């Protein structure tokens, strides 16, 4: 019998070593998963997911088997009943109906220069996007920020993420921007948050003061142990960057209680597929989160397959070490757990053209962090929005990227428009099946672990 379960349960830590592999079966809106568990005695776990209602169910081996067999009348009636049920608890996101130009998340390229030369850099190889600017103009940026904040309603959220280049090359500019934004936010009682993504090689009193004063989320870019990281993220002179990062991490340990969330951001590709090794290395630093991202430009078949395998190994290790608590330190699993807990449909993978904007170092406005410098993706300049371009983003990302029939769409949100080549024109779609394979597998892992953590397994 199919047992649909409630959303909120106490969590439990996993203890036994498990090496897992997913198998998928589908019945209309229902997706079933079989997971092999290599323990002292071989066993298998079974879970089902309703892709519309975002409900997770515990199922038996027999039910999983019957999904691909001629089904009995009673079992088919039960399947049809669940498949056709409309949940009153699922949360229908209305983000695609947000009025245009109401930006709630703003990325600012504080600089477009960098002290490293990462071999996979998507910003021109040197953080410049082909346009090296030492620092953004504060005189132009502050009115631009007020322009966006004036459009928000009382009490709404407003997030600023500082990028580059390397943003901490202009820490003084970040300080001025944060101070101004907080002062303006008091007018409407806006809930303001900040994030800094940095290569972690720069540490001084100004940086320390900045972290203590504004408590931004700090994402340190590092791709693994020094042996790996130095190959991928060298200084411009070719020398090691890792020792400087490790020095920063040691300094952060002394002030962790005085600052905001600290995490690590890693990029994997055919140049580096040591995800498990990176996880083990980072685990010792007790980061608040780990973001393990696959390169947005790598379409290598073997690397894609290895990344999926490595992420499954990482999920297994995290579960062994601390169950849901440790698993959710890996950003992607935490993200999917939140959506499943809330039964909240994600209709937009990101806020492209709706709630997200990027300001480059010349104060031009773009629709995506990856498209800076591409004229076709520019949606404004200073305090002017190009309304003719913005209005093309009226539909959801699910619709834009033609994901209406995908079972994972409400957890994936239609996928990355940059990867699918739909940032400026949905008619130019070059949908990446590699991307879809990765996401669907990790979504499946998330659903399995979600059920396991809520003690739903039969």
Cα-only R_g, the chain: 23
Residue 118 to residue 233: CA distance in whole angstroms = 4
Segment 18-30 shows an average pLDDT of 80
Domains delineated in the chain:
96-342 (3.20.20.70)
The mean-pLDDT minimum among 18-32, 273-287, 343-357 falls in 18-32
How many C-beta atoms surround the C-beta of residue 3 within 10 A? 12
Q: What is the DSSP letter of 323?
A: H
Higher pLDDT, 143 or 99: 143
What pLDDT, on a 0 to 100 scale, did the predictor assign at position 455?
Answer: 66
Nearest to 208 by CA among 246, 256, 161, 166: 256
How many C-beta atoms surround the C-beta of residue 199 within 10 A? 27
Total number of residues shown for the chain: 458
Query: In the numeric block, which tokens belong to residue 143?
Result: 């009115």
Nearest to 61 by CA among 26, 32, 31, 21: 32
User: With pLDDT > 90 as the criterion, what percentage of the chain qualifies?
Assistant: 73
Contacts 24+ apart (CB under 8 A), 394-399: 394/96, 395/96, 396/95, 396/96, 396/347, 396/348, 397/347, 397/348, 397/349, 397/350, 397/352, 398/347, 398/348
Element (H, E) at 27: strand 22-27
User: If you average pLDDT over each of 14-28, 58-72, 300-314, which comes out highest?
Assistant: 300-314
Residue 15 to residue 89: CA distance in whole angstroms = 32
Nearest to 456 by CA among 35, 19, 25: 35
Say yes or no to pLDDT of 419 above 80.
Answer: yes
Q: What would the pLDDT profile of 145-199 be if each residue is shown by its tens digit? A: 999 999 999 999 999 999 999 999 999 999 999 999 999 999 999 999 999 999 9
Which pTM does this prediction carry? Answer: 0.92
Q: What would the pLDDT profile of 38-50 be if each residue is shown by its tens digit? A: 553 446 789 999 9
**Would you list the DSSP string of 143-196?**
HHHHHHHTTSPTT-EEEEEEESS-GGGGHHHHHHHHHHHHHHHHHHT-EEEEEE
Residue 100 to residue 96: CA distance in whole angstroms = 9
Residue 125 contacts residue 234 (beta carbons within 8 Å): no
What pLDDT, on a 0 to 100 scale, did the predictor assign at position 16?
Answer: 41
User: With pLDDT > 70 as the criterion, what percentage of the chain qualifies?
Assistant: 90
What pLDDT, on a 0 to 100 scale, did the predictor assign at position 36?
Answer: 76
């Amino acid at each position: 019998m199919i047992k649909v379960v409630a959303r909120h349960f106490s969590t439990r830590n996993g203890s036994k070593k498990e090496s897992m592999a997913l198998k998928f079966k589908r019945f209309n809106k229902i997706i079933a998963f079989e997971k092999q568990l290599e323990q002292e005695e071989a066993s298998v776990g079974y879970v089902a997911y309703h892709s519309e209602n975002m409900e997770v169910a515990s199922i038996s081996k027999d039910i999983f088997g019957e999904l691909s067999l001629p089904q009995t009348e009673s079992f088919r009636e039960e399947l049809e009943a669940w498949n056709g049920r409309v949940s009153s608890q699922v949360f229908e996101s209305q983000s695609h109906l947000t009025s245009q130009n109401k930006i709630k998340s703003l990325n600012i390229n504080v600089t477009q220069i960098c002290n490293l030369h990462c071999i996979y850099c998507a910003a021109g190889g040197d953080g410049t996007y082909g346009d090296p600017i030492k620092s953004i103009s504060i005189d132009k940026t502050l009115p631009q920020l007020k322009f966006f904040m004036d459009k928000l309603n009382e009490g709404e959220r407003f997030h600023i993420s500082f990028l580059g280049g390397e943003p901490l090359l202009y820490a003084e500019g970040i300080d001025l921007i944060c101070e101004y934004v907080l002062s303006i936010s008091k007018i409407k009682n806006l809930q303001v948050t900040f994030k800094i993504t940095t290569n972690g090689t720069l540490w001084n009193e100004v940086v320390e003061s900045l972290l203590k004063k504004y408590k931004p989320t700090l994402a340190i870019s590092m791709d693994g142990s020094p042996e790996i990281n130095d190959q991928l993220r060298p200084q411009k002179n070719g020398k090691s960057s890792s020792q400087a990062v490790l020095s920063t991490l040691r300094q952060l340990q002394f002030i962790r209680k005085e600052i905001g969330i600290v995490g690590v951001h890693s990029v994997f590709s055919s140049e580096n597929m040591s995800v498990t090794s990176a996880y083990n290395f980072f685990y010792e630093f007790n980061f608040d989160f780990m973001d393990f991202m696959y390169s947005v430009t790598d379409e290598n078949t073997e690397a894609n397959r290895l990344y999926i395998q490595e992420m499954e190994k990482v999920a297994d290790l995290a579960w062994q070490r601390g169950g849901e608590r440790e698993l959710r330190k890996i950003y992607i699993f935490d993200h999917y757990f939140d959506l499943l807990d809330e039964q909240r449909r994600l209709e937009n993978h990101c806020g492209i053209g709706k709630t997200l904007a990027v300001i480059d170092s010349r104060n031009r406005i773009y629709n995506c962090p990856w498209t800076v410098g591409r004229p076709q993706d520019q949606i404004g300049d200073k305090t002017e929005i190009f309304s003719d371009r913005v209005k093309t983003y009226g539909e959801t990302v699910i619709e834009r990227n033609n994901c209406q029939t995908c079972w994972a769409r409400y957890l994936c949100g239609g996928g990355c428009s940059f990867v699918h080549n739909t940032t400026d024109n949905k008619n130019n779609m070059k949908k990446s099946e590699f991307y879809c394979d990765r996401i669907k597998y990790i979504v499946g892992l998330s659903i399995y672990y979600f059920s396991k953590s809520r003690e739903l397994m039969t």
